[in-house]
Structure 1
Amino acid sequence: MIATNTGFGRLQFILLLVLWGSATPLWAGDLSVSVIDDQGELVENAVVVLHPLFDDDWSTLEPQALLMKQQGAMFRPFVLAVGTASTVSFPNLDEFRHQVYSYSKAKRIELRLYGMDESKTVLFDRAGIVALGCNIHDNMLAYIYVSDEPYHVVSDAQGMALIRDVRPGDYEMTIWHPDQKKRRQSYMQSLSVLADSAAVAARIEMRSSRRQQKSPASAGY
Structure 2
Amino acid sequence: MYRVHRRFPVFCLTLLGAASAGATGVAVQVQDAAGNPLPDTVIYIEAEAGQAGAKAPANAEIEQKSLKFMPLVTVVQTGGKVFFPNNDRVRHHIYSFSAAHKFDQKLYSGQSAAPQVFDKAGTVVLGCNIHDKMLAYVKVVDTPYFAKTDGAGAARIELPAGGKYVVKAWHYNTAGGATPEQVLTVKAGDALSTAVFKLPMKPPAPVDTTSSSY
Distance 1:159 1:219 in 2: 29
Q: Look up the match of 1:4.
A: none
CA distance in 1, matches of 2:99, 2:52: 29
Structure exhibiting the larger radius of gyration computed from Cα positions? 2
Distance of aligned partners of 1:211 and 1:195 in 2 relative to their CA distance in 1, 3 Å threshold: farther
Higher relative contact order (CA closer than 8 Å, sequence separation 6+): 1
User: Which TM-score applies when normalising by structure 2?
Assistant: 0.81
Equivalent residue for 2:100?
Answer: 106
Where does residue 121 of structure 2 map in the other structure?
127
- The one of 175, 180, 192 aligned to 1:187: 180
* Aligned CA distance change for structure 1 residues 187 and 195 (closer, same or farther; 3 Å): same
Percent sequence identity over aligned pairs: 30
Identify, as 1 or 2, the structure richer in helix: 2
**1:47 and 2:39 aligned:** no
After superposition, the CA RMSD in angstroms is 2.3
Aligned-partner residue type, residue 31 of structure 2: I
**Structure 2 unmatched runs, 5+:** 1-18
Indicate the larger mover: 146-155 or 77-86: 146-155
**Aligned-pair distance for 1:206?**
2.4
**Greater mean alpha carbon deviation, residues 115-124 or residues 125-134:** 115-124
Gaps of 5+ in 1: 1-18, 23-27
Structure 1 length as normaliser, TM-score? 0.79
- Tell me the equivalent position of 2:204: 210
For residues 146-186 of structure 1, the C-alpha deviation after alignment (integer angstroms, 9 at most, x for no partner) is 00123121112221112123421101111111111121x21
**Amino acid of the residue matched to residue 168 of structure 2?**
T
After superposition, residues 164-175 of structure 1 pair within 5 angstroms as 164-175=158-169
State the one-letter code of the partner of 1:218: T
Matches within 5 A, 1:1-221: 20-21=20-21, 29-54=24-49, 58-59=53-54, 61-183=55-177, 185-196=178-189, 197-198=191-192, 200-211=194-205, 217-218=209-210
Deviates more, 1:185-194 or 1:100-109: 185-194
Amino acid at match of 2:20: W
In the alignment, is the contact (CA less than 8 A) between 2:52 and 2:143 conserved in 1?
Answer: no
What secondary structure is seen at the aligned counterpart in 1 of 2:114?
A: strand
- SS of 1:20 mapped into structure 2: helix
Instruction: Give the Cα separation in 1 of the matches to 2:205 and 2:21.
Output: 39
- The alpha-carbon deviation at position 199 of structure 1 amounts to 5.1
The question of whether the paired residues in 2 share the 8 Å contact of 1:49 and 1:173 is answered with yes
